[in-house]
Amino acid sequence: MRHLKAGRKFGRNPSHRRAMFRNLAANLVVHERIETTEAKAKELRRVVERLISKATRLGDDLSVDVGKLKDDQREQVVARRIHAQRTVSAFLPRKLTKTEAGGELVDVDPVHKLFHNIAPRYMDRVKAGNGGGYTRIMKLGPRRGDNAPMAIIELLGAPEPEAKKPRKSRKAAAETEEVAED
């Protein structure tokens, strides 16, 4: 029986499930928006919210200049930062490759991005006592092929994705080539 057993199994063993969520969480941190199945998105929300909460729990330690602090304060701030980053980096992979708009491949450190780009975005919300709720799940239609319900999960406050230009059909592309040749 599943009484009080939180989490879904997804037909995978624990190590495979952990690896799947490591990769999904890292991709969500790097791209700030991914498309996956509804069930995975709902479970991924739990994982990512915990990671962001660990990063935001540092509070002012994220933005303070360590060089301006006294020795004993500096040691405490650095120790808290290191502990939080090591805790998160035990879960997230070290590097992820992201394709930029121009087709250029860039290596991104998900832990660095989480602590320096994403966590400061939510600091006002945490200081107001409204921690959590850092993600949004938008349901899409069923996936073609296996009819699995799909969803987009994104971080709140993420920049809007660039609109893709509509593709021309082969017939329209052939007509434009004929016009260009004339």
Computed over every residue of the chain, the mean pLDDT equals 88
Residue 75: the pLDDT is 84
| Bridge partners for 34 per DSSP | 153
Mean pLDDT for the stretch of residues 139-168: 85
Domains and CATH numbers, the chain: 14-181 (3.90.1030.10)
pLDDT tens-digit readout, 50-86: 999 999 988 777 777 777 888 888 888 888 888 999 9
- pLDDT over 90 percentage in the chain: 52
For 163-168, the CB contacts below 8 A with 24+ separation are none
pLDDT tens-digit readout, 103-120: 899 999 999 999 999 999
* Residue 50 CB partners (closer than 8 Å, separation 6+): none
130 phi, psi to nearest 5 deg? -110, 50
The pTM assigned to this predicted structure is 0.81
Whether 41 contacts 151, CB under 8 Å: yes
Inform me whether the pLDDT recorded for 9 exceeds 80: yes
Residue 163: the pLDDT is 63
Tell me the C-alpha distance between 182 and 22, whole Å: 55
